[in-house]
A and B are shown apart, each in its own frame.
Chain A
Amino acid sequence: MIGEFLRLLSDWRGFDTWIALTGALAAMACALPGTWLLLRRQSLLGDALSHAVLPGIVVAFLGVHWLEQSDPPPSPVAGPAAQGEMARSAAGDLSRVAGRQTVLFLGAALSGVLAALLTELIQRWGRLERSAALGVVFTSMFALGLLLIRLFADRAHIDTDCVLYGNLETTASDVLVGTGLPRGVVVNGAMLLFNGLLVLVFFKELRLATFDAELATSLGLRAGWVSLALMTVTAATVVAAFESVGAILVIAMLIVPAATARLLTDRLSLLLILAPLLAGLGAVLGHVGALTLPKMICSRVGLPDIDDASTAGMMAVSTGGLFLLAVVASPQQGVLRRLLDRLRLQVRIASEDLLGRLYRREEGSKVEGGGLRVEQQASEPRSNWIAWFARHRLLRKALIQTTASLDELTEAGRRLAQDIVRSHRLWESYMARHFDLPGDHLHATAERVEHFLDPNLQAELAAELDQPSIDPHGKSIPPVAQSEAIPKVDRL
């Protein structure tokens, strides 16, 4: 299987590198504004913007097309063949492309800003909830864009598939004359640089306006303007990436890498570095995946003729995969980590409960001898595999010992048990004194709290209650143990 993977990968050509690079640059350029959108809880705004720029692109495109009608060459978002020709045609290619790109940018950015403004306006005038206003605006604008494309499709060769799925696969053949670089690389690389620069220069303003808009405003920084600027930059980034990678990848790269990075770190500056890196990684992995996985999977399920699949789609999937990985395995907040923490806590509580029970047993039956039958434990209600594990751990740590199928505390175990029972009874005394609860209501809460009272809190409770020696049930409170003598049981 790995052999097959490597064999398929050895087909990697020069233009594959360009494809991966274009995708990675576009993804990284998107991840930067996306991080801010995520922090502002406006992730869906990225999605909405990438739909809403469509009419702007179409109108700008038609405008450019109309202007260029005198000299023949053609459209960017056209079929691959036309692009190949175009790339090599004119000498003034660079300047024309730059001009066309500018018009497209302006159109899309205007349309993005218009969408943001309309949303704001509708939300305010109509007193609507934000997501509803957003939904109305972006679906309407997208529908308008689709309609325009349908109406003028024959005149401008824009097609809807390309808008959605991009044409990353043909990106390498669309070379800018004079640079030798594919156009997608130049455009997206420029956008990445621009965004990076903006983040560096306006880091302080963005941070302030994102985390505390009121404070920002009171300090004289117009939070509204910052958010509008962010919108504009996002729209520009979206349109730069749009052409080469399509709308889906744009939406994915705005949100997913930022969310992934957010799971890995709590620090803003680190987040802004991690998010683009993850986006780039996701894009490269995506292209590798697009070259190998479809073939490997399809040939196994009886579809032998499939060689590859949409790279943009695969890039979205692979960033999704990275996100899933982070959800499961993030060192601080991952699901695994949380499960492990919970398990540890449960084992500790089960151990301490067992120690406490043995101690009480010893205490109550000085005459008949302490100890708890092993089989008797198994029949108790809280017995489960955690309790079983806890018992074995205590045995291994020599805190309890078994003699003649009776569990008994060892000397070290007794010190620990004493500490736990002391916590329990101190808490009962405290509850009885200050909360005025009847005697039969004390045990349950103390049973929970006993595991979380550290020596300082114990000392405070004892002082508060004038160093009591008897708890409300008339049982004696064990004296404080030497703290260094208490063995640690927290470590698994």
Chain B
Amino acid sequence: MFATNDLLRVLTLQDYNTRVVLLGTVMFGACGGVVGSFMLLRKKALVGDVASHAALPGIALAYLILEILAPGTGKSPPWLLAGAGAGAAGGLLCAGLLQRIRLIKEDAALGIVLSVFFGFGVVLLTIVQRLPTGSAGLNEFVFGKAAALTAGDVLSISIASGVILVVCVALFKEFSLLCFDESYAAALGWPVTRLDLLLTALVVTVTVIGMPSVGLLLVVAQLVIPPTAARFWTDRLGPMTVASGVIGAASAAAGVLVSAVVPRLAAGAVIVLAGTTAFAVSLIFGTRRGVLWHWLQQRDSHRHIGEIDLLRACFEIVEGAGGPGLRGGRQTPTGAASVSEADLATRPISREALLSTRTWSGSRLSRVLASAQRSGLVRLDSENQFHLTHEGARQAQRAARNHRLWELYLIHYADLAPSRVDRAADQIEHVLEPELIAQLESLLAQDSARVQVPVSPHEVRSAEFGARSRKNFDSHTEIETTK
């Protein structure tokens, strides 16, 4: 399809034209990413779409006026871009007014302005097309034609981008406050309305400088896709803005290079699709909100919960099977069961006992056991019996203790029946922090030095709890995620 040295020539930027186009689109991509970050956080991601569609009548009107005043001068990019800016600003102003008078909702106001302005633009465009002087070139604003950028265009794009970036850096603090707490900013006496207008003006400028290369139909993509992609990597606005700018610039560069190698592929669409690829990668691999990361975290907590549940089950089995005095532990004067760590560590525990204690399927139990073994909480002896390790015994005691403290708390303070607290405690035991445990202890006036594990306030689980605790298990994961 193309020679290797062609490819090499493009990639090493030996063409003057490629370099020019690349500079122009990359500057635009970076600006779109930066300004888009603020718009995304202000939940106005699609305002750029309205701005770009509303620019069409501005462009066509500018062309018509130039033609009427002096036939033949219509295609003068600076004036057309000025018209585009005026149209976009006018559209956003109308949308703002429609919202101000509170007759219709924001989304409808945006949609109405977008479609009616664009319709008007199309009317004017057909008029332009019927002019004897012809209209070659206006369509480039609609679909974009990056390859046609001239050095002059790129110079003005670069100046405009420079101004945008300087404004964003200089007013970074103001814009972030505007994004996160507009009413607070207003209460501090900041000129919120003027800042808002300024941000809108930046959006309009970005739209205008992107139009010749990406086309007005797709300009909004550069305002939306890079920031949403960047959002998956960080929670902080500064890094996010930078990352978004970088993603915008990189996708613009990728688009230009691909379309330079394969001229059939229009740069505008490829730029957008490159951004989409970056978005897809971020969605999956992003370190902050990425799907994969999130899934790994969930799997970890899932496993951790499984282990804790296993240990507590072991504790209850040992406690239940213990010698005289253990079973009826409730009668001991201290109110505490005395299953010592040594007890826990020496007694063998069979799979069957575990299966009957919790409602785990055989395979699930095997998985939990394997993971507990890897974590060094459980070991397998020569007769295929399980033992808790010392670490395991210690943690088992703590797990049972947390569980029962919470149960006691619920009984004393939430006035729940003893038969109902098990389930509630099962959900909460995994998220009890040490401080909370300390508070529970003092609340329940237990002598924490003496009492190791309080006696279960209810009959320890038997198989009939089965169906219930299955459900409990599923709800653990929810708690973990909300936490």
Tell me if A252 and B228 are in contact (CB < 8 A): no
**Nearest CB to that of A154 among chain B residues?**
B264
Residue of A nearest to B144 (CB): A146
> Within 8 Å of chain B (Cβ to Cβ): is A162?
no
- B125: Cβ under 8 A from any A Cβ: yes
With the chains together, A314 CA to B119 CA distance in Å?
Answer: 6
Interface size class of B (residues with CB under 8 A): 35 or more
In chain B, what residue has the closest Cβ to A147? B269
Cβ of B243 < 8 Å from any Cβ of A? no
What B residues does A307 contact at CB under 8 A? Answer: 130
Q: Which of A131, A147, A249, A254 has the most CB of B within 10 A?
A: A131
Interface contact A317-B123, CB-CB below 8 Å: yes
Q: Check B115 against A252 for contact (C-beta < 8 Å).
A: yes
B interface footprint on A331-349 (CB within 8 Å = 1, 0 otherwise):
0010100000000000000
A119 CB → nearest B CB, Å: 12
Are A303 and B68 interface neighbours, CB within 8 A?
Answer: yes
A132 within 8 A of B: yes
Q: Is the CB of A128 within 8 A of B231?
A: yes
- Decide: A41 and B131 in contact? CB cutoff 8 A: no
B110-130 interface code vs A (CB 8 A; 1 in, 0 out): 111011101111111111001
Among B150-158, B191-199, B271-279, the stretch in contact with A: B271-279
* B64 part of interface (Cβ distance < 8 Å): yes
Quick check: is A42 within 8 A (CB to CB) of the other chain? yes
Q: Which residues of B lie under 8 Å from residue A312 when comparing CB positions?
A: 119, 122
Query: Taking the complex as formed, is B467 at the interface, i.e. its CB lies under 8 A from any CB of chain A?
Result: no
CB of B62 closer than 8 Å to a CB of A: no
| Main secondary structure on A side of the interface with B | helix
When distances are taken between beta carbons in the complex, the residues of chain A under 8 Å from B273 are 140, 143-144, 147
Contact indicator B98/A327 (Cβ below 8 Å): yes
Residue of A38, A122, A248, A263 near B122 (CB, 8 A) is A248
Given contacts A310-B126, A313-B123, A317-B120, contact A41 B107 (CB under 8 A): yes
Q: Is the CB of B104 within 8 A of A263?
A: yes
Comparing B42-50, B79-87, B324-332, B399-407, the segment that makes contact with chain A is B42-50
Please tell me if A359 contacts chain B, counting CB pairs below 8 Å: no
A143–B228 touching, CB < 8 Å: no
Inter-subunit contact B67/A303 (CB<8 Å): yes
Given the interface pairs A128-B231, A139-B225, the reply to whether A252 lies near B119 with Cβ below 8 Å is: yes
Q: Which residues of B contact A132 (CB under 8 A)?
A: 40, 43, 45, 224, 227-228
**A135 at the A/B interface (Cβ < 8 Å)?**
yes
Q: Report whether over half of chain B's contact residues are helix, strand or loop; otherwise say mixed.
A: helix
Cβ of A33 within 8 Å of any chain B Cβ, yes or no, is no
Quote the shortest CB–CB distance from A1 to chain B (angstroms): 19
Instruction: Give Cα A258–Cα B112 distance, bound, in whole angstroms.
Output: 10
Q: Which of B46, B116, B269 contacts A131 (CB 8 A)?
A: B46
Q: What B residues does A323 contact at CB under 8 A?
A: 112, 116
A129 within 8 A of B: yes
The answer to whether A136 has its CB under 8 Å from any CB of chain B is yes
Contact of A255 among B67, B111, B121, B265 (CB under 8 A): B111
> A335 vs B357: C-alpha distance in the bound complex, in angstroms?
71
B112/A255 in contact, CB under 8 A: yes
Partner of B68, one of A41, A133, A301: A301
Residue of A51, A136, A251 most packed against chain B (CB within 10 A): A136
By the criterion CB–CB under 8 Å, are B269 and A150 in contact? yes
Q: Which residues of B contact A474 (CB under 8 A)?
A: none
Measured CA separation A42–B101 after assembly (Å):
20
Q: Assuming A44-B111, A125-B283, A164-B142, is B123 touching A256 (CB within 8 A)?
A: no
Interface centre among A42, A146, A254, A262 (most CB of B within 10 A): A146
Taking CB atoms and an 8 Å cut-off, the chain A residues in 251-282 that contact chain B are 251-252, 254-256, 258-259, 262-263
Is B270 positioned at the interface, with any CB of A under 8 Å from its CB?
Answer: yes
Shortest beta-carbon distance from B137 to chain A in Å = 14
Distance between B164 CB and nearest chain A CB, rounded to angstroms: 20
Q: Which residues of B contact A (CB under 8 A)?
A: 40, 43-46, 49, 64, 67-68, 98, 101, 103-105, 107-108, 110-112, 114-116, 118-127, 130-132, 139, 142-143, 217-218, 220-221, 224-225, 227-228, 231-232, 264-266, 268-270, 272-273, 275-276, 279, 283, 289, 291
Known: A42-B107, A164-B122, A327-B103. 16 other contacts (CB 8 A): A43-B107, A44-B46, A132-B40, A135-B224, A139-B272, A143-B269, A160-B143, A259-B104, A298-B127, A303-B67, A306-B131, A310-B125, A313-B121, A316-B116, A316-B122, A335-B101
